[in-house]
Structure 1
């Protein structure tokens, strides 16, 4: 992979640069009367603009007007223009002008200890404003660009390394960035490590050699993206076990990084049996104190989990937004967010002004889009979007048709809205939205009319299942090929389902719940395109439901709220939440929403810079590390 970028340069006011300024002025004069375009570049380091006229490359190529020579460590010689090289590098400017020894005349030759191919790339930048940065040259290029003070190339290298971050190399890149004080790359590297820590443990060989204080800093971070504190324990075990004799002196400080109060009593008891902990008096006593605290807690006991480090949950990388729905006999505009690390639902004050239900909801590039729906009187063709960073709602282009009970998916940067009910008829029409143009476009209609269906994507195809056509609940399934723009039927589901939810996970479709014309369903079934012969059953949900919201979070399928007709007393809308583990084929309870509602929609937003504002820790934290909190509160 090659990364090319243009950066801005600041011309200084020396005699050398007056020559450059004159060259620039003449270039600009010629620009009015000729068709050539100067190369322009921009950088985070500078604020002004500097041009790279094509004539510079021409002079370099033909070795014309050269007034300097640079000899590399292998003897390779480069004829150069001293003024041009001095413009990009304060080092060469001082060298050629002899500004250090002013009594000496200006130099026109330089010997440098730099590989010829690297210097060739630096010259590419000096003459054109761009250079090729690749995986093979980026480290040497950054090293020598830093040594010879060509800061724009340093920035180019940092930008390239940001695009190359992976679980396998992020620790190595962070270490490398720290050597050259590349702040932006350091910050991006630390953020990447926090967000991808579980994958890093599996893929990074550098983890075994990370210094103890760096490991402590990572493990204490509130934004460490882990499902459970057991991942932190695994990290401690992996690092200590690599060299136990030398590293066991750090065990106590590392064990204190684990937020043991978020684990069960049995889990902590199992940790206390680790031989290295038993051998360490400090660790052994600490675990005993934690067990005493956990063993003495009652269900109704109040624990300050915001400020007590041992009990404080991490800040999640991903947040669920559940918006609208039908509650207490009317549509609502409630917005709740789910903090998966604290397992709590929180009300948000960022509600839209108009209640609606049976709408579509999706996240595209960090913006939440709410599409169509019904407010008890009107069927909407409108679309609103919510910016969770700015806490702001705004209007977007309207669809061609009103759609309530609409099926919505995101595919390759476009939003697709299919079927639904317009107040008169169930629809088979479909349309897609381009956010860059803020326009809807009709696409070929489905083969069947469907409202209250559900859709999901696998690879380049969009699948839609079930629904109601005005006469019957359906079990048919259609697929839309976005390349050929054609709809076709695939294997039918084993059960008819309206108010169903379809989710795509690991290239497999999961159709869950719904209404079969007689009762709400707890059942679900799955289908893997191009692999399965048909749909096969999965474990039943704990609670039958239809018209509920579904999201994929932490590799689990969450089902949220919905309608249940088995409750003989009170409202039939529910607030129950549960999640499905596809690996174990089991359902588990999660915290319930604050409001019972059906016909709601939900989506997940990842990596918000202000994610804490939507989590349980939004009340604020006065201190971060276990030492600042006074260690174990037991």
Structure 2
């Protein structure tokens, strides 16, 4: 790993180059040839000739050693205990060149030594290396390592990794079962723990106890309080939790079991009862992904309202972050934690404009406009670029397409599609853009094609089983799903999926609601169909599809009725609390401004 020739402070700000590259080379050459050296560092019977001034410039430790201690100032040789010769060699090399070779074999010894000798730049680079090596099998060890040596940034990064990938950690890491009970409780009780359901948290608790059940089952009363038992189904709690031998045979668990049964019973008796987020039994975890729904047609006119969906609480939150102007029949995508809204229609004007929303700063800005006006546009993201395809410019249905590079803030025209299509829908899978259905000005389409950016070419593939305009298309697993839409006669609740391996479409279970011009996204490994038009009225209903069970489930309705909306998902927002049900409700209750 090559290290740049500058030092940084603990906030990551550049302090400035201590020496020019040429000077570093000269000093290092003098050291290697033993010229003008005025001291020798001895480690493990090995001697390192050095220049006191250079080592003093590299860290406060060496500066104090060579300037404050009278015996060290007078002595030419200084012996330093507690470090190996190999590690001292790296530290000295870094002092002269600001370069170091860091690998998995030396980093665990190098970071403590760099910390001991206050070589802050080297400490940061060791932390950066470890952050880049994070995986399920080592994230707990790295987190504990960072906490022990007070590396706050690495501790924060490794903690986020552990929280986000907790299921994989439990399944694959020996470090989890080696944790002490206090650490297990801290992890399982965290609001940031990313578990699809509390069943996973309970299974993780059992996994830790099972590893040494005779010595650990006594901890079940305390650890059980880390699980949000009120978020479990009554059936699961009665059959799997209450009846488990660890719990059934432990008298200390009975008060919590009784409390939970009463809570679940009250909830079953009143299904419309709002979730009490202040109750520790049912406080939702913080979602790691947030779905944003932007704009659309509502109440006979376009809207600029933005809503977010908190998957853990199954609640929608209206945000105080709407754009300055409304738009519908647009495309919405997320790149690098920013939301881009392209094209659309405000009831009067057809747009080629593109707006960008930053959920961290909560500010809207103007991005470069597309080359064409595009209402009923299809958008997708591939390899960090946005693709906008087809649509209606106020005169004709388009077969043109273009690509946006966020870094250059520039749109570039790409090869046109084989078909004119507006009101289609697009997604990306395995390095290609797939677009399906739509309307060509005369009929609803069942045709489909994909774009390969390597060849700048569109290729038709097997047509859908149904004509679908206002369709929702999304990649899910290794297949393409096409849901709902208008077939020329009625809005549909049917769906089908395409396998690129067999070039065939297969019918899937029907949605509860017929809908066209709705939002579609994948969040928490499920497809969500959001709002739309059912043939009679605009709806606010939301449902989700789980490919594991091949079933549709009702989700909480949006706050407003809307069709012609668009959705996107952002992962890992640093201010995710601003867009969750918990934060929103608490702010309303306290009268606090959410912005």
With normalisation by structure 1, the TM-score equals 0.87
- Structure 2 residue runs of 5 or longer lacking an equivalent are 588-595
1:50 equivalent in alignment to 2:18:
yes
C-alpha change, 1:9 and 1:107, in structure 2 (3 Å) is farther
Corresponding position: 1:445 with 2:416: yes
User: Residues 485 and 60 (structure 1 numbering): CA distance in 2 closer, same or farther, change over 3 Å?
Assistant: farther
Q: Secondary structure at the match of 1:222?
A: coil
The alpha-carbon deviation at position 220 of structure 1 amounts to: 1.7
1:386 pairs, out of 353, 357, 368, with: 357
Match of 1:592 in 2: 557
| Residue 285 of structure 1: aligned partner | 255
How far off its partner does 1:200 sit?
Answer: 1.5
Contact (CA 8 Å) 2:370, 2:411: kept in 1 or not?
yes
Please show how residues 251-266 of structure 1 align to structure 2 within 5 Å.
251-266=220-235
Q: Is residue 313 of structure 1 aligned with residue 284 of structure 2?
A: yes
| 1:583 equivalent among 548, 552, 562 | 548
Please, what is the CA RMSD of the aligned residues?
2.2
Over 3 Å counting, the alpha-carbon distance change for 1:263 and 1:109 in structure 2 is closer
Matched residues in 2 for 1:237 and 1:376: separation?
Answer: 57
Give the corresponding residue for 1:296: 266
Aligned ranges 1:499-510 → 2 under 5 Å: 499-510=470-481
**Aligned equivalents of 1:96 and 1:604: distance in 2?**
56
Between stretches 365-374 and 219-228, larger displacement belongs to: 219-228
Tell me if 1:220 matches 2:189.
yes
Alpha carbons 1:4, 1:133 under 8 Å: kept: no
C-alpha contact 2:6 2:16 (8 A) present in aligned 1: no
- What does 1:596-611 align with in structure 2 at a 5 Å threshold? 596-611=561-576
For the 8 Å contact 2:461–2:503, the answer to whether it is kept is no
The CA deviation string for residues 236-276 of structure 1, in whole angstroms up to 9 with x for no partner, is 10111111222223211110111112222222212100101
Question: Mapping of 1:150-189 within 5 angstroms?
Answer: 150-189=119-158
Indicate conservation of the 8 Å contact 2:518/2:532, yes or no. yes
Find runs of 4+ consecutive structure 1 residues off by over 6 angstroms. none
Paired residues of 2:40 and 2:76 also in contact (CA < 8 A): no
* 1:523, distance to aligned residue in structure 2 (A): 1.8
- How far apart are 1:619 and its partner, in Å? 4.3
Where does structure 1 lack aligned partners over 5 or more consecutive residues?
Answer: 11-41, 623-634
Q: Deviations over 1:420-439 (max 9, x none)?
A: 00011000111111112211
C-alpha contact 2:495 2:507 (8 A) present in aligned 1: yes
Q: 2: CA distance between counterparts of 1:381 and 1:536?
A: 36
1:333 aligns with 2:278: no
Q: Is the contact made by 2:310 and 2:581 (CA closer than 8 Å) also made in structure 1?
A: yes
Separation in 1, partners of 2:4, 2:186:
34
Spell out, residue by residue over 1:597-630, the C-alpha distance to the aligned partner (whole angstroms, 9 max, x if none).
11110111111122111111114769xxxxxxxx
For 1:18, the equivalent position in structure 2 comes to none
Separation of aligned partners in 2, 1:377 and 1:562: 21
> What secondary structure does 2:520 align onto?
strand
Aligned to 2:160: 191
User: Would you say the 8 A contact 2:115–2:123 is kept in 1?
Assistant: yes
- Whole-Å Cα distance in 2 between the matches of residues 318 and 104 of structure 1? 58
Q: Deviations over 1:109-153 (max 9, x none)?
A: 435453333222222211111212222221121122123332221
Match of residue 115 from structure 2:
146
Provide the residue aligned with 2:514 in structure 1.
544
Structure 1 residues 357 and 346 mapped into 2: Cα distance closer, same or farther (>3 Å)? same
Equivalent residue for 1:615, pick from 576, 580, 583: 580
Map 1:67-466 → 2, pairs under 5 A: 67-73=38-44, 75-97=45-67, 99-102=68-71, 105-110=74-79, 112-270=81-239, 271-297=241-267, 298-299=269-270, 305-466=276-437
Q: Name the CA distance, whole Å, in 2 between partners of 1:216 and 1:421.
A: 56
Q: Which position in structure 2 is the counterpart of 1:32?
A: none
| 2:304 partner SS | coil
Question: Cα deviations across residues 86-127 of structure 1 (Å, max 9, x unaligned)?
Answer: 322344444445x33459723334354533332222222111
Q: Secondary structure at the match of 1:550?
A: strand
Q: CA deviation at 1:449?
A: 0.8
Counterpart CA distance in 1 for 2:217 and 2:354 is: 58
CA positional deviation for 1:342: 1.1
Contact 1:547–1:562, Cα closer than 8 Å, also in 2? yes
**Residue range with higher mean Cα deviation, 375-384 or 183-192:** 183-192
How far off is 1:45 after superposition?
8.0
Instruction: Tell me the alpha carbon deviations over residues 278-321 of structure 1, each in whole angstroms, 9 at most, x when there is no partner.
Output: 11101123202221232234316756622211121112111111
Measured after TM superposition, the shift of residue 592 of structure 1 is 1.0
| 3-state SS of paired residue (1:257) | coil
Aligned-pair CA distance for 1:43: 6.9
* Distance across 2 between alignment mates of 1:43 and 1:601: 38
Contact 1:229 1:258 in 2 (8 A): yes
Q: Is the 8 A contact 2:310 2:316 kept in 1?
A: yes
Structure 1 residue 328 displacement after superposition: 2.4
Using a 3 Å threshold, how does the CA distance of structure 1 residues 450 and 307 change in structure 2: closer, same or farther? same
Partners of 1:426 and 1:437 in 2: CA distance: 28
Tell me the distance in 1 between the aligned counterparts of 2:271 and 2:565. Answer: 31
Aligned to 1:524: 495
Partner SS state of residue 504, structure 2: coil
Contact 1:45/1:152 (<8 A) preserved: no
| Cα distance, 1:377 vs structure 2 | 1.1
Instruction: Report the TM-score, using the length of structure 2 for normalisation.
Output: 0.93
Shift in Å at residue 165 of structure 1?
A: 1.5
Counterpart CA distance in 2 for 1:118 and 1:562 is 63
Q: Report Cα offsets for 1:329-380 as digits up to 9, x if no partner.
A: 2222222111111111121121122121100001111111110001111100
Q: 2-side partners of 1:495 and 1:546: how far apart? A: 14
Per mean C-alpha deviation after superposition, the further-off stretch among 584-593 and 288-297 is 288-297
- Is residue 472–residue 483 contact of structure 2 (8 Å, CA) maintained in 1? yes
Question: C-alpha displacement at 1:405, in angstroms?
Answer: 0.6
**Residues 91 and 335 of structure 1, relative CA distance in 2, 3 Å threshold:** closer
Verify the 8 A CA contact 2:66 2:72 in the aligned structure 1. Answer: no
Alignment partner of 1:4 is 2:17: no
